[in-house]
Amino acid sequence: GGGFYGSSGAWTCGAHLAAVMADGTVDKCGYFTERRSGTLDEGLAAVWPRIPRWRLEELSCSCPQLAACRGGCRFRALAHGDLLGPDPAMCRLRGVRTAPIPPL
């Protein structure tokens, strides 16, 4: 997977991630808890294909850092208004955005 923000191929960051919550719920990550993909009772092999993943080409952000940052965090992008839009924290980290990140 390439680490926390890693991915491979044409996938956005986190394509290799899943979060198993204390109640056995499987989510995209610890932030996407309202987008449950299933439970461990079903088996991880059954739940894994239902975990949402996005391709880089689906994103509505275009910048020269996209291949390196893999689009950043989709939850942060959603929290700032657009699931497929830019992740303002990753943009700032990579020097694409210089303005302060607006509060949620």
Query: From CA 8, how far away is CA 27, in angstroms rounded?
Result: 20
pTM of the model: 0.78
Query: From CA 46, how far away is CA 102, in angstroms rounded?
Result: 38
Amino acid 69: pLDDT? 85
pLDDT mean across residues, the chain? 85
**55-64: per-residue pLDDT in tens?**
999 999 878 8
Query: From CA 72, how far away is CA 91, in angstroms rounded?
Result: 8
